[in-house]
Amino acid sequence: MSSTRVLVLNSGSSSVKYQLIDMRDGSRLAAGLVERIGEQTSRLIHTHVADGDTREQNGPIADHEAALKAVAAELGRDGLGLDSPELAAIGHRVVHGGMFFTEPTLVDENVLTEIERLIPVAPLHNPANLTGIRTARALRPDLPQVAVFDTAFHTTMPESAARYAIDPKIADRYRVRRYGFHGTSHAYVSRETARLLGKDPSEVNVIVLHLGNGASASAVEGGRCVDTSMGLTPLEGLVMGTRSGDLDPAVIFHLERVGGMSTDEIDTFLNKRSGLFGLCGDNDMREIRRRVDEGDERARLAFDIYIHRLKKYIGAYYAVLGRVDAVAFTAGVGENSAPVREAAVAGLEGLGLAVDGELNAVRGDEARLISPADARVAVAVVPTDEEMEIATQTYALVNGSGNLT
Ligand code: AMP
């Protein structure tokens, strides 16, 4: 029996998300989520796609090992267990691959050691990713496990974009540089945008705006990333749900010296209590728009700051690319918020950018154009699919080809 299935695992600090995908046609066989791992109120939700059956388990799940065993048991109940000969590999999302990992990588002990060495630059993410890989390896030691890195797509950035303007000796000693994140999404969306335009990725320049709870922009030239808005960590760049994005680094010294805040307090403040949430008390764009429509001033200011930053990045990446064929909106806000898309492009007609009001208002799950037919630059909504991208890259590595196209 040929092995054509890939299990994608995304292990977060207190959650595991998973999908089992059949690479023959890209169909989902099962999907689910374990959340609140380590608490009394853990929950596993599992969907077996073929019969539309969704099962839920509530009660404590102590750690990632227990979580993965519970997932394996649920898959087993559907006849899709980890022992199935049809399972070709497990693909793991790993947030930080540093400069070392530029491609999906077959996991061995050396790879695990290197991911571990990157923990200081990704303290929130890499430990959980590692635990997920180690547990999956223990469950199926003979099965290929592939690490797919969020940073990999951005390793093509030129040094002029990847370096901060600080002494390179210090930067290299402490691995301080701009890595970028959401790479699997930027890779997938830039390719799908080219497909929507009926072109090969090597022929098009795309600005990808991944606007979710975390948000990042990238400039993709002929399929290669040449700049992105996140940096050493996912804090740099756009205004996000709870992260500030760009600010003068001196704000940190100021908060320390004048505000009496500790380094850890500032870290939490800028990552968890800033952005849209810090500005107006809400980080969900639906709620913010509802408040804006009711005339709420704080929500209006938060929205305006969000849009102002977005516009600055569109302009900056226009300049970086020189010629832009498309601007693609993706992720929770980008795919769903017509007001954000409209406002982000408003006034940029001089750059050839415009949104057609009627097309922009249409909702849907498919990649689509929202610019007027005669627009110089295509504006598109392109739903992201990070799991499919991880599965495709994983399958390509273990099978020699993973193209679903
Ligand atoms: P993500 O991180 O990609 O899952 O995106 C999550 C964010 O998408 C949420 O915090 C919301 O702000 C936003 N979102 C989801 N659905 C909508 C919608 N219908 N309209 C506006 N924003 C939405």
pLDDT tens digit string along 222-241? 999 999 999 999 999 999 99
Nearest CA to 245 out of 233, 235, 253 is that of 235
Provide the pLDDT for residue 6.
Answer: 97
Residue 203 Cα, ligand 1 centroid: separation in angstroms? 31
* pLDDT one-digit tens code per residue, 240-255: 999 999 999 999 999 9
Nearest CA to 192 out of 236, 223, 147 is that of 223
The maximal CA–CA distance of the chain, rounded, in angstroms, is 67
* pLDDT one-digit tens code per residue, 339-386: 999 999 999 999 999 999 999 999 999 999 999 999 999 999 999 999
- What's the rounded Cα separation, in Å, for the pair 353 and 48? 43
Provide the pLDDT for residue 400.
Answer: 79
Is pLDDT above 60 for 324? Answer: yes
| Cα 52-143-30 angle, rounded to 5 deg | 5
Q: Which residues fall within 8 angstroms of residue 240, CB to CB, at 6 or more apart?
A: 213, 214, 215, 275, 276
Other beta carbons less than 10 A from residue 218's beta carbon: 30
Provide the pLDDT for residue 172.
Answer: 96
- What's the rounded Cα separation, in Å, for the pair 120 and 370? 42
Provide the pLDDT for residue 1.
Answer: 59
Strand pairing partners for 329? 209, 381
Residue of minimum CA distance from atom 4 in ligand 1 = 332
The token pair at 110 is 């050396």
- What's the rounded Cα separation, in Å, for the pair 308 and 238? 10
77 near 71, Cβ under 8 Å?
no
Q: Which amino acid is at 186?
A: H
22, 142, 150, 304: the active-site residue: 150
Strand (E) or helix (H) holding 384: none
Atom of ligand 1 nearest to the CA of 214: 2
Q: Which residues fall within 8 angstroms of residue 46, CB to CB, at 6 or more apart?
A: 30, 31, 32, 54, 55, 56, 57, 71, 74, 75
Q: Give the pairing type, strands 87-94 and 145-149.
A: parallel
- For the segment 31-53, the average pLDDT, to the nearest whole number, is 93
Provide the pLDDT for residue 199.
Answer: 98
Residue 271 among known ligand-binding residues: no
* pLDDT one-digit tens code per residue, 57-86: 999 999 988 999 999 999 999 999 999 999
- For the segment 23-43, the average pLDDT, to the nearest whole number, is 95
The token pair at 79 is 């006849």
Confidence bin at 405 (pLDDT 50/70/90): very low
Provide the pLDDT for residue 13.
Answer: 81
Residue 337 Cα, ligand 1 centroid: separation in angstroms? 8
Residue range 5-149, CATH number? 3.30.420.40
- What's the rounded Cα separation, in Å, for the pair 14 and 41? 12
Provide the pLDDT for residue 121.
Answer: 83
Nearest CA to 221 out of 153, 296, 139, 124 is that of 153
Domain boundaries of the chain, sorted by first residue: 5-149, 198-386
- What's the rounded Cα separation, in Å, for the pair 218 and 206? 8
| Mean pLDDT over the full length of the chain | 95
Strand (E) or helix (H) holding 315: helix 297-321
Residue 93 among known ligand-binding residues: yes
Ligand 1 interacting residues, C-beta cut-off 6 A: 212-213, 241, 283-286, 331-333, 336-337
- 347-to-64, 129, 311, 315, 322 alpha-carbon distances in Å: 49, 42, 10, 11, 19
Q: Between residues 328 and 402, which one has the greater pLDDT?
A: 328
Helix, strand, coil shares, percent, the chain, to 5: 40, 20, 40
CATH homologous superfamily of domain 198-386? ATPase, nucleotide binding domain (3.30.420.40)
Ligand 1 binding pocket mutation candidate from 303, 337, 384, 385 (most atoms within 8 A of CB): 337
- What's the rounded Cα separation, in Å, for the pair 82 and 138? 11
| Cα 26-30-31 angle, rounded to 5 deg | 100
- Candidate from 113-122, 262-271, 376-385 with smallest mean pLDDT: 113-122
> Do the domains 5-149 and 198-386 sit in the same CATH topology, yes or no?
yes
- Helix (H) and strand (E) counts in the chain: 15, 14
The token pair at 283 is 């980080």
Residue 336 among known ligand-binding residues: yes
- What's the rounded Cα separation, in Å, for the pair 241 and 211? 9
108 is catalytic: no
